[in-house]
């Protein structure tokens, strides 16, 4: 039997039974009808997989929703269960992809690579504004030591840093070189702070002005986890207080509506992101931490295996409905 799904992937040759049709449009109620005649549909973080979309997919005969990401907050799981639609996801793919991007942001902001790149292109070979610090011998504070945080701990260790961490659970694989401390101790001792905990009620605005004031002067702060871990307005206050050597963000509170869109011709009327970008010691990327060849291949492989499992009626840890 040939399975048909609607998305794009690079490891398809390992799954000869699967046939794919790609469409550019986002999955939402208006586009869900296009799935008619397909066994499964594949969607990403920005798709609308709410009750209305699921109802239309059900009427179109779709039996499986394949989320090619870990998060599924955009899926109405209860509705999917009610309609008998299986929903499968990719809980972990390549933690190093995100951790390496976190270190890339830390290095880029420390050595002002974005400035240096433009200066040399402008025939300006001066070093003004480019002085950084060594990471070697400094202290890295990792908040959240799950899969990605643990990879970041290993990277920081490789740079010759002392690594301290804060988490609600200790990760036994790190016990040889990571010292767990309280959040306040981590804030007070770290030269580089990298956030890798999930966004929950207890972590919302974890980095606010009160906590920023507990940090060392000249700290580098990196967030590749979720934007709302940081109170952006209070971060801006902290930057104005000259707390930070640098701030590197792959995620930020206002990113919904921006992520993967070209808005270069628009005038942003009320953008705190634009205010952040006005600082010379801030670098922002747009949710690209996961975006490496290895991570994409791992996501594609798991997604295609999820479809085969669905076809064979197998339930696994990747099932959310």
Tokens standing for 10? 């690079």
C-beta closer to ligand NAI: residue 31 or 190:
190
Q: Which one of residues 287, 300, 305, 321 is an interface residue with ligand NAI (CB under 6 A)?
A: 287
C-beta closer to ligand NAI: residue 144 or 246:
144
Rule CB under 6 A: is residue 1 a binding residue for ligand NAI? no
With beta carbons less than 8 A apart as the criterion, state whether 67 and 89 touch: yes
Tokens standing for 16? 């000869």
Rule CB under 6 A: is residue 141 a binding residue for ligand NAI? no
With beta carbons less than 8 A apart as the criterion, state whether 58 and 85 touch: yes
Rule CB under 6 A: is residue 290 a binding residue for ligand NAI? yes
Rule CB under 6 A: is residue 146 a binding residue for ligand NAI? yes
With beta carbons less than 8 A apart as the criterion, state whether 245 and 220 touch: yes
Rule CB under 6 A: is residue 205 a binding residue for ligand NAI? no
Rule CB under 6 A: is residue 48 a binding residue for ligand NAI? no
Residue of 75, 62, 61 whose CA lies nearest to 7: 62
Rule CB under 6 A: is residue 302 a binding residue for ligand NAI? no
256/105 Cα distance (integer angstroms): 21
Rule CB under 6 A: is residue 253 a binding residue for ligand NAI? no
CB neighbours of residue 134 within 10 Å: 11
C-beta closer to ligand NAI: residue 10 or 198:
198
Q: Which one of residues 15, 135, 166, 244 is an interface residue with ligand NAI (CB under 6 A)?
A: 166
Burial call 282-291: b when 16+ CB within 10 Å, e when fewer: bbbbebbbbe
Residue numbers annotated as active site: 226, 255, 287
With beta carbons less than 8 A apart as the criterion, state whether 133 and 139 touch: no
Among the listed ranges 1-9, 42-50, 195-203, 260-268, the one in contact with ligand NAI (CB under 6 A) is: 195-203
Q: Give CA 13 to chain center in angstroms.
A: 28
Residues that bind ligand NAI (CB under 6 A): 92, 95, 98, 143-149, 166-169, 196-198, 202-203, 224-226, 250-251, 287, 289-290
């Amino acid at each position: 039997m040939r399975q048909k799904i609607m998305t794009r992937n690079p490891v398809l040759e390992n799954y000869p039974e699967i046939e794919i049709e790609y469409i550019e449009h986002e999955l939402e109620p208006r586009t869900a009808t296009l799935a008619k005649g397909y066994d499964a549909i594949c969607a990403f973080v920005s798709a609308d997989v709410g009750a209305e979309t699921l109802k239309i997919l059900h009427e179109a005969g779709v039996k499986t929703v394949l989320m090619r990401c870990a998060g599924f907050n955009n899926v109405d799981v209860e509705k999917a269960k009610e309609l008998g639609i299986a929903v499968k996801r990719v809980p972990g793919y390549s933690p190093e992809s995100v951790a390496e991007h976190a270190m890339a942001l830390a290095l880029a902001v420390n050595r002002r690579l974005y400035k240096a790149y433009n200066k040399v292109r402008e025939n300006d070979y001066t070093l003004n504004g480019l002085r950084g610090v060594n990471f070697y011998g400094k202290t890295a504070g990792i908040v959240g030591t799950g899969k990605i945080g643990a990879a970041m701990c290993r990277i920081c260790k490789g740079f010759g840093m002392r690594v301290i961490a804060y988490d609600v659970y200790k990760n036994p694989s790190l016990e040889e070189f990571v010292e767990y401390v309280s959040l306040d101790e981590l804030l007070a001792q770290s030269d580089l702070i990298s956030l890798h905990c999930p966004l929950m009620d207890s972590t919302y605005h974890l980095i606010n002005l009160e906590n920023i004031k507990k940090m060392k002067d000249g700290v580098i702060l990196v967030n590749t986890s979720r934007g709302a871990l940081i109170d952006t307005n209070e971060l801006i206050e902290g930057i104005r207080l000259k707390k930070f050597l640098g701030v590197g963000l792959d995620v930020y509170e206002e990113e919904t509506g921006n992520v993967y869109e070209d808005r270069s011709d628009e005038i942003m009327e009320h953008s705190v992101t634009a205010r952040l970008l006005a600082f010379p010691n801030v670098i922002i990327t747009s949710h690209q931490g996961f975006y490496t060849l290895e991570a994409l291949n791992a996501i594609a492989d798991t997604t295609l295996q999820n479809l085969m499992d669905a076809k064979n009626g197998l339930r696994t840890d990747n099932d959310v409905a």
